[in-house]
Amino acid sequence: MKLRIATDSLARLKQGRTIALTGAGISADSGMPTFRGNNGLWKKYRPEELATPSAFSQNPQLVWEWYSWRLEKLISVVPNEAHFALAQLEKMEILELIISQNVDDLHERAGTSKILKLHGSIIHTKCIECNKKEQIAKPPRAIPYCECGGMLRPDVVWFGESLSPKIQDEAFQEAATCDNMLIIGTSGIVYPAAFLPNIAKKEGAMIIEFNVAPTAITPLADYFIAAPAAESLPKFLANFQS
Ligand code: BV8
Ligand code: ZN
């Protein structure tokens, strides 16, 4: 079954440059808890206790326990139909790029190759001494250390930390030059990512939002598709499959 999109909007999607901005909600249907939902990550933990540099310097053990728990969760889940639909849209050259706020690897495991990860990757570590980055083999039982002796941290952007200037500039550039932006599963609360829909809109892009509830972004949307992404994205994809 298709999702009803007006003919001129479909033509715009087929001819124009389309990018997607994704948030934790796209991974919700895989079973990954979101940040602010009712079973959200922040419910069990206090954000100021965990995803900040000061929390890590004060209590690296607790921060690693949280990330290890999230990694356990991540290796136990698989990409859902929303991730696969976006990967298919990339293959069909309808979707040029995904800009993701997510630190999971579900887009990549679904086959997406063109992705900008604004907030880093939970399956990679970074050494706080020599900055060496590597993929984590398995969820650590204790604080992991680099061969240089330095303590390892998750290779993610914490609150109060700047995004990589290169990645941030590229994301802003993509938002300013796209014709269409699909916005999937984000509350639009976290900055500077939350600037991206405003930049796209200001430059005349068509905004299609997929979410289960209205968000701070919804007033900007040309289409608001209220359903779980794992249901709505395959129906959206069906518009491009003869
Ligand atoms: C920075 C990695 C400069 C860690 C994360 C203005 C400008 C710049 C900064 C700020 C600013 N205003 C405030 C700030 C500070 C801060 C910020 O934004 N705070 C917020 C809380 C107000 N920003 C920063 O600190 C950023 N740094 O700008 O540096 C600087 C330097 C020094 C001092 C000041 C500034 C860094 C932000 C990055 C933080 N790191 N992640 C980790 O994951 O452990 S952010 C974290 O939140 C995740 O990455 C997550 O993706 C992200 C955003 O949340 P969402 O993805 O939107 O998820 P959420 O749960 O909120 O929403 C889920 C949505 O899905 C909901 O809408 C729900 O309805 C929907 N949904 C649920 N189920 C489904 C669904 N949709 C579809 N289908 C479903 N089934
Ligand atoms: Zn090191």
Over residues 12-24, mean pLDDT? 97
Q: Give CA–CA dist 147/129, Å, rounded.
A: 11
Per-residue model confidence as pLDDT tens digits over 69-87: 899 999 999 999 999 999 9
**Mean pLDDT value across the chain:** 94
Which residues does 130 contact at the CB level (< 8 Å), separation at least 6? 146, 148, 150
Among the bound ligands, name the one nearest to the CA of residue 167.
Answer: 1
Q: Indicate which residue's Cα is closest to atom 21 of ligand 1.
A: 190
- Distances from the Cα of 212 to the Cαs of 131, 168, 229, 232, 242, in angstroms? 39, 27, 8, 10, 28
Tracing tokens 């990589």 back to the chain, one arrives at 164
Strands 133-135, 120-127: pairing is: antiparallel
pLDDT digits (tens, 9 = 90+) for 103-152: 999 999 999 999 999 999 999 999 999 999 999 999 999 999 999 999 99
Which of 191, 195, 196, 231 best tests ligand 1's pocket when mutated (most atoms within 8 Å of CB)? 191
pLDDT at 49 over 80: no
User: If you take atom 35 of ligand 1, which residue's CA is the nearest one?
Assistant: 160
pLDDT in tens, 174-202: 999 999 999 999 999 999 999 999 999 99
pLDDT on residue 242? 78
Residue 75 is encoded by which pair of tokens?
A: 């290796």
CA 99 to CA 92: how far, in whole Å?
A: 18
**Of the ranges 3-7, 15-19, 56-60, 200-204, which one carries the lowest mean pLDDT score?**
3-7
Q: Is residue 75 within 8 Å of residue 139, measured between CB atoms? A: yes
pLDDT at 42: 56
| Nearest ligand 1 atom to alpha carbon 191 | 18
Distance 173 CA to ligand 2 centre (A): 33
Compute, in angstroms, the gap from residue 87 CA to the centroid of ligand 1.
23
What are the pocket residues of ligand 1 if the criterion is a CB atom closer than 6 Å to any ligand atom? 23-25, 28-29, 34-37, 40, 51, 101-103, 119, 156-162, 185-187, 189-192, 210-213, 215, 228-229
Alpha carbons within 13 A on the beta-carbon side of 21: 28
Q: Which residue from 77, 172, 190 has its CB within 8 A of the most atoms of ligand 1, so it is best to mutate? A: 190
Going through 81-170 in order, the beta strands assigned E by DSSP cover: 95-100, 115-117, 120-127, 133-135, 152-156
CA of 191 relative to ligand 2 center, distance in Å: 30
pLDDT score at 144: 98
In sequence order, the β-bridge partners of residue 152 are 127
Looking at the chain, the whole-number percentage of residues with pLDDT higher than 70 is 94
- Residue 177 contacts residue 18 (beta carbons within 8 Å): no
pLDDT at 3: 82
